[in-house]
Structure 1
Amino acid sequence: MKIPAFFIAHGSPLLAIEDNDYTGFLERLGRELPRPRGIAVFSAHWDSPKQAVTVDERHETLYDFYGFPEEMYRLVYPAPGDAGLNRRIGDLFSAGNLSHQPVRGRGIDHGVWVILKRMFPDADIPVVALSVDSLRSPAEQYAIGRMLSPLREEGVLVIGSGGLVHNLRMLESGGEPAEWAVAFDGWIAEKLEAWDLEALFAYDKQAPHIRDAVPSYGKEHFVPLFYAMGAADDGRRAQRIFQAYQYGTLSLNCWKFE
C-alpha cells in the first residue's frame, strides 16, 4: 500500500504535553495510518544550504527551545535510525543529482519529535530527519521531495513539518482566528486542492497577506509544504484533514497528499 505524504504543522512545542483537538487528531492519525516501516521528516527547524540527512543508530532528543515548563525538558523520543533507509535516501538523492551530507549526533529537533510523539508515542519506528533549504526556489524544493516519492511505495511515511501561517511577532491572545490568517490559509487551500503549482510557486507574489503569514525571516516554516507535495507528485491529490489556530494566528493544519 502506498502511504500518503503529509504536511503537518508542529505548532508550539507545548503540543507534546497539551490535550486539545489537534493533539487528539494527531494521535488518531497515527493509529489510523498503515504502520510505516520508516519515517522521513523534512523539518523547518533544520534550515541548511546543503541537503542534510541524519544517520544515527538511535536519536537524541534536541530541546531547541527555551522558556518552557521544566516538564518539556524531561521528555524524550529515542527513535531508532535505519542504515538501510539512509542508504536508500542517499541513492535517491544521488540519482536526482542532489548533493547531500550525512549528519551524525545532531539529534532530532522539536519539528520532528513533537508531532511523532503524538502520532507514534512508542518511538519504535525508524526515523530519518532531513533538512530544508528556505533559500531554494519552491520548484527546487518540490523537486527534492519528488526524489523521495518512491519511498511511499516502500512503506515509508514522508512528512513536511512546519507551519503555513507562522509569525511569532503577530500572535494574539483572543480566541478567534485572525481574518488575515484565515484568508491566507484559504488561498493556499484553493491552490493545493487544484494542485496549481504555477500559483503556489509564486505564493510570495500572489497570496493575500503574504508578509504577515510568511515573513521574510520565517520562510523555513512554510517551505516543508513543497517537499511534502513533491513526494506525492505522481498522484497530485491534496486534502486538508485538519485546520485550527492557536494564539489567533498560529495555523495548525494537516494536509494529506496522495
Structure 2
Amino acid sequence: MTDTLPTYFISHGGGPWPWLPEMRRMFANLEASLVKMRAERPKAVLMISGHWETEEVAVMSSAHPPMVYDYYGFPPETYQIVYPAPGAPKLAQRTADLLSAAGHRVHLDGKQGFDHGTFAPMAVIWPEADMPTYQLSIRKDYDPATHFAIGRALAPLRDEGVLIVGSGLSFHNLRMFGPEARVPSEAFDAWLGQALALPADQRTAALLDWESAPYARLCHAQEDHLVPLFVALGAAEHDKAERVYHDVMLRGGVTASSYRFH
C-alpha cells in the first residue's frame, strides 16, 4: 500500500451501546459516521483508547486479544460480548520499535484485551470482526506534548496500511451527562472545532494549551478521553481536520464530535 491513510479521533459512545437497541437508536448519527470508516480499507487498525492507561506506553501484542468489560450497570448479557477480531503481533512489534527509536519507554503486552473504547466502535465499523486490530495505551500522566510526540513517532504506520484511531469523547464528565452539560459541552466543542481549523503550528499550540479552552476542566475533569486526540493529531500534524460527526446526544445535553485528519 502506497497511499497514506488518514487518522481519526472518534467519540466512541457509551459502554456496549451497539448491543442495546435503545442506546443504538440514540447513537444513530454516531453509527452512521463510523460505518463510513469502512471505506479506508486498511491492513490493520491501531486503536488508542482512553480506557487503557499505563505508566509507560504499552502495545497490545496478542494474536487473539481477550475482552475487557470496563463498564458498570449494564445488562448481564453485555458482559458476555465477544468481538473476536485477530490481533496484529508483527505490527505491535513494529509500533514498539518506532516508539523506542523515538526515545519512548515502551513494552509489549500480550495479555491486554479489547476494551469498549475499541470493541464498541469496531463492532459497528467492521461487524465481521475480520480486521486485525490492536491497541496502544495512553500514559497515566496525560501529558499533551508527550502524546503528540507518540503520535509523531507512529506516523510511518500510515504509509504501511495501519489506520490510527484515537478513541475517546470530546466531552467526558460522568457526573454531567444530561441537560446541564449543554452549555459547557457546546462551548468546548466549538473551541475544539476552531482550534483544529487553525494552521498546523497554531493548532498544535492550541491543543497543547487545551486547559485554556472554555469550560475545559468541566468537560474533562480527567482528560483520559481527550488524550487519544493528541496521538491521532500528532500522527497527522500537518494534515487538515474534517469534522465527520457532530451531535447533541444523551437527553439533549452533550455535544460531541469526531474528526478525520487527512
* TM-score past 0.5 threshold: yes
> 8 Å contact 2:142–2:224 — kept in the other structure?
no
| TM-score where L is the length of structure 1 | 0.91
Q: Measure how far apart 1:249 and its partner are.
A: 4.2
> 8 Å contact 1:166–1:249 — kept in the other structure?
no
| TM-score where L is the length of structure 2 | 0.90
Say what the alpha-carbon RMSD is for the aligned residues: 1.7
The aligned amino acid for 2:233 is M
Corresponding position: 1:220 with 2:224 = yes
The aligned amino acid for 1:11 is G
> 8 Å contact 1:160–1:228 — kept in the other structure?
yes
Query: Runs ≥4 in structure 1, deviation > 6 angstroms?
Result: none
> 8 Å contact 1:9–1:251 — kept in the other structure?
no
Work out the CA distance in 2 between the residues paired with 1:40 and 1:249. 31
> 8 Å contact 1:163–1:251 — kept in the other structure?
no
Structure 2: tracts of 5 or more residues without a match: none
> 8 Å contact 2:189–2:256 — kept in the other structure?
no
> 8 Å contact 1:143–1:230 — kept in the other structure?
yes
Amino-acid identity (%) = 36
> 8 Å contact 1:4–1:256 — kept in the other structure?
yes
Q: Measure how far apart 1:66 and its partner are.
A: 1.7
SS in 2 for 1:135: coil
Structure 1: tracts of 5 or more residues without a match: none
Q: Measure how far apart 1:198 and its partner are.
A: 1.4
> 8 Å contact 1:6–1:160 — kept in the other structure?
yes
In the TM superposition, what whole-angstrom CA distance separates every residue of 1:1-36 from its partner, at most 9, and x where no partner exists? 211000011120243221322112212332x22x11
Corresponding position: 1:241 with 2:244 = yes
Q: Measure how far apart 1:177 and its partner are.
A: 6.7
Work out the CA distance in 2 between the residues paired with 1:192 and 1:134. 24
The aligned amino acid for 2:158 is R
In the TM superposition, what whole-angstrom CA distance separates every residue of 1:158-213 from its partner, at most 9, and x where no partner exists? 011111211010111x5x97122111100011011114221221111x20011211
The aligned amino acid for 2:249 is Q
In the TM superposition, what whole-angstrom CA distance separates every residue of 1:119-163 from its partner, at most 9, and x where no partner exists? 111111111111002414211110101111011111110011111
Work out the CA distance in 1 between the residues paired with 2:196 and 2:48. 19
In the TM superposition, what whole-angstrom CA distance separates every residue of 1:54-86 from its partner, at most 9, and x where no partner exists? 110111121111211233223211111122201
